Amino acid sequence: MELFHNLALGFSTASSLANLFFCLIGVLLGTLIGVLPGIGATATIAMLLPITFQLEPVSSLIMLAGIYYGAQYGGSTTAILINMPGESSSAVTAIDGYQMARKGRAGAALAIAALGSFFAGTVSTFLVAVFAPPLTKIALEFGAAEYFSLMVVGLVSSIALASGSIVKALAMVVLGLLLGLVGTDIYSGAPRFTLGIREYADGLNFVAVAVGVFGIAEILRNLEGEKNRTVLITKVTGLLPTRDDFRKMFAPVVRGTIIGSALGILPGGGAILAAFASYTVEKRVSKTPQEFGHGAIAGVAGPESANNAGAQTSFIPLLTLGIPANPVMALMVGAMIIQGIVPGPNVATEQPALFWGIIASMWIGNLMLVVLNLPLIGLWVKLLTIPYYVLFPIIMAFCSIGVYSVNSNVYDLYAVAFFGFLGYALVKLRCEPAPLLLGFVLGPLLEENLRRAMILSRGDPSTFVTRPISATLLAIALVVLVVVLLPSIRAKREEVFQDEE
């Protein structure tokens, strides 16, 4: 019954007029960004962080969360209409969704994607509500050694889920960890790696690094080969799926939701992998696998549900442990810290209204998306006709304002340029940026907990394997690492990511 009490608290918080308003703004902005290809949710949230400074903590987090899952919805619209993923997680939707659109069934494809996402969002929001409280109880038992081991698991999983070479992903994590250590050492107060620049004494600004590595690098990539986008359909009709469509979409939606919910918890971009996994599963179990690639309804319904479910459940590690599962969640950590909230297991007990308000707002946000987006589809289609060369100067300007407003530190803008260059160079050298950012966020936490654990154990490193929870976590990390390095799995993994490109 505690669950209902908590949910009631959450809904009363989330349904205050102000919070409903910010949730609406969030999902609208998110959809807008999702629809526009070439600007991801990570860069958007980084850009929009300053808008949330003046808000209440609950409102600001509700809005940021809305941007995130709104972007998932918007991404599928672009995927279906112009065969180009607005968000990386909707890349799979483009395969069958675009084919449906070519057959004149764009309206049905959009509706299926929206309804599937709504179903997945509802179920996974409920899962977050059910699983978050017991997990926070476990997390409260965690000491420094457990936190260290848990972060190792997170970092290792982010490597497993990154596409491309594992060694490179590992190197990206380590580089990220090192970059995260820039700034004043917490124990001795010694400045580290600041090159004598006083402005970096508090460390490199996370928003600057995120905007550089994701935002700027993405703009540069889009500028490589400027292509004209052709919008297939200018007017979408026939939104309502037929009874036959409903019958065909039901099972894939349920399977997609399960896959997405499970994979979303894993660190390192669960939503993207969830969509691919769901597509593979649907193709396997389908009685008519030859339909896939030619407008199969299951090929839209499954992955769309999976990526939305994954987006929701990736809040679980953030809300319970304070550990971000992907770069967007890392930005949420940043937002919480700016608001004076230390993310971790204490949030649920100390700020129940905030904790449950965010969870309830996810469901409300999903409802808004279904109700608003299907009628607004005409507007989103119009947006697709805006040429990219008009968009990116706008993105640049907002990124600059966003980064500067965090600390009013002009050196943060130089960091943006540096990390934009570095991010672009590393992407060109086929390195995935997500592990770097995750390493960057976890670097200081990892070091702090390592040092604390070592002091507590009087310099005995066996503390990590003699404490049961810590030992289990390290064992999980080891298994994950061994599994991804196994030749057979490696071949399979490359196959999965092959489809992505």
Judged by beta carbon, residue 169 or residue 271, the one nearer another protein is 169
Nearer to another protein, 141 or 226 (CB): 226
CB of 494 to another protein, least distance (A): 13
Shortest reach from residue 404's CB to another protein, in Å? 6
- Beta carbon of residue 206, minimum distance to another protein (angstroms, whole number): 16
Please identify, using beta-carbon distances, which residue of 250 and 421 lies nearer to another protein.
Answer: 421
- Return the structure tokens found at 444: 């200081």
Q: Torsion-angle region of residue 326: left (phi > 0), alpha (psi -120 to 50) or beta?
A: beta
Smallest gap, in angstroms, from Cβ of residue 475 to another protein? 21
Least spacing, CB of residue 90 vs another protein, in Å? 23
- Which has the closest alpha carbon to 453: 423, 473, 437, 436? 473
Q: Which two tokens stand for residue 319?
A: 């809300």
Length of the chain: 501
Say if residues 424 and 216 touch (Cβ distance below 8 Å). Answer: yes
Judged by CB, which is closer to another protein: 291, or 500?
A: 500
CB atoms within 10 A of CB 372: 16
Quote the distance between the C-alpha of residue 336 and its chain's center. Answer: 16
Q: How far is the CB of 417 from another protein (least distance, A)?
A: 4
Shortest reach from residue 327's CB to another protein, in Å: 19
First to last CA, the chain: 47
Q: How far is the CB of 67 from another protein (least distance, A)?
A: 16
Cα(180)–Cα(201) distance, integer angstroms: 12
Q: Exposed, middle or buried, 491 (CB in 10 Å: 0-12/13-18/19+)?
A: exposed
Nearer of residues 217 and 384 to another protein, judged by Cβ: 217
Q: What is the Cα–Cα distance from 30 to 38, expressed in whole angstroms?
A: 14
Q: Of 141 and 224, which has the nearer Cβ to another protein?
A: 224
Nearer to another protein (CB atom), residue 56 or residue 291: 56
DSSP secondary structure letters along 407-462: H--THHHHHHHHHHHHHHHHHHTT--HHHHHHHHHHHHHHHHHHHHHHHHTTT-TT
Task: Output the six-digit token pair for 68.
Answer: 């995130």
User: Least distance to another protein from the beta carbon of 411, Å?
Assistant: 7
DSSP string, 180-201: HT-EE-TTT--EES-TT-GGGT
User: Would you give the DSSP letter of residue 293?
Assistant: T
Between 371 and 425, name the residue whose CB sits nearer to another protein: 425
C-beta closer to another protein: residue 371 or 401: 401
- Give 68's Cβ-side CA count (13 Å radius): 31
The binding site for another protein (CB under 8 A) comprises: 50-51, 53-54, 165, 167-168, 170-171, 174-175, 177-178, 181, 185, 187-188, 190, 192-193, 216, 219-221, 223-226, 387-390, 392-394, 396-401, 403-405, 408, 410-414, 416-417, 420-421, 424-426, 428-431, 447, 450-451, 454-455, 458-459, 461
